[in-house]
Amino acid sequence: MKKSHQFYGSGIPRVKAEDLGGKLIVIEGADGSGRSTQIAELVNWLETSGLPTVQVGLKRSTLVSEELEKAQEGNVLSRTTLSLFYATDFADQLENIILPALKAGFIVLSDRYIYTLMARDMVRGMDEAWLKNLYGIAPVPDAVFYLSVEPEELVQRNLSKNATLDYWESGMDLGLSRDMFDSFLQYQASMQDVFKTLQKTYGFDIVDANRSVNSVTKELRKKIAALIEEQ
């Protein structure tokens, strides 16, 4: 595969973007948009085709995932602190998993990426320029698929899966409404607005994920196959 990566900003000390091969594929979308289902499908398909894959996602680092989980449970950290904590989690996986895998020519499937982290903070009023600098360490992915699902449909999917709505995915910390159902709808709608703004800068591929799992899988496979055949 050809080596063609670059970083969004300053990158990582002593890592040359030219040394990064492989493919970095990001699946973005809210909880209930079908990200993990689609990633499982893709891994299965890619590995069966003989292509090595690695998976990463938010809050999975060795360094801080445990503490980050606890911080969220108690909602004890202030905004900037939580944001930097998430950035630490991302950076740890970036350096220990994503970059080595790309150097080795693997296909990295990322369950969410810096865009979710940026969008969450932007909805909470944080400065976009600050976030862009912070995440200048991230390599530009080869493809970003945003699984778009209407908030009303997300509610249904989340409730049928967990019978409850997640505190953070409902944006309860924002105090939009004491009613979790209302808060969820409002929060997810603002997240989608931010994603639309980010789409203009980062050029995501917006995939209509209101459809069945199968039709979304088909579309993703087709696009990724084209990407892999490019070289």
Instruction: Kindly write out the interface string for residues 39-78 of this chain, putting x where it contacts other proteins by CB under 8 A and - elsewhere.
Output: -----------------------xxx-xx--xx----xxx
Nearest partner of 203 among 121, 116, 142, judged by Cα: 142
Question: What residues contact 167, with CB distance under 8 A and at least 6 apart?
Answer: 75, 173
Q: 13, 50, 125, 175: which one contacts other proteins (CB under 8 A)?
A: 13
Contact flag: residue 180 with other proteins (CB under 8 A): no
With contacts defined by CB under 8 A, name the span among 6-14, 27-35, 52-60, 110-118 that binds other proteins: 6-14
Q: Which two tokens stand for residue 85?
A: 């904590």
Contact region with other proteins (CB under 8 A), list: 32-40, 129-137, 145-153, 176-184: 129-137
Supply the minimum distance, in Å, between the C-beta of residue 11 and other proteins: 8
- With binding defined as CB under 8 A, does residue 20 bind other proteins? no
> Are the beta carbons of 177 and 186 closer than 8 angstroms?
yes
Per-residue tokens: 32: 């209930």
161 lies in the site for other proteins, by CB under 8 A: no
Phi, psi (deg, nearest 5) at residue 206: -85, 120
Does an H or E element contain 80, and which? helix 79-93
Which residues are CB-neighbours of 19 under 8 A, at least 6 positions away?
3, 103
- Choose one: 11-19, 111-119, 201-209, 213-221; the region binding other proteins (CB under 8 A): 11-19
Q: CA-CA distance, 118 to 201, in Å (whole number)?
A: 12
Judged by CB under 8 A, the chain residues 92 through 121 that form the site for other proteins are 92, 94-95
Report residue 231 as tokens: 């070289």
User: Which one of the spans 17-25, 105-113, 132-140, 193-201 is the region binding other proteins (CB under 8 A)?
Assistant: 132-140
81 binds other proteins (CB under 8 A): yes
Pairing verdict, β 23-28 and 53-57: unpaired
Per the CB < 8 A criterion, the answer to whether 122 and 128 are in contact is yes
**Which residues are at the interface with other proteins (CB under 8 A)?**
9-10, 12-14, 62-64, 66-67, 70-71, 76-81, 83-85, 87-88, 91-92, 94-95, 130, 133-134, 136-137
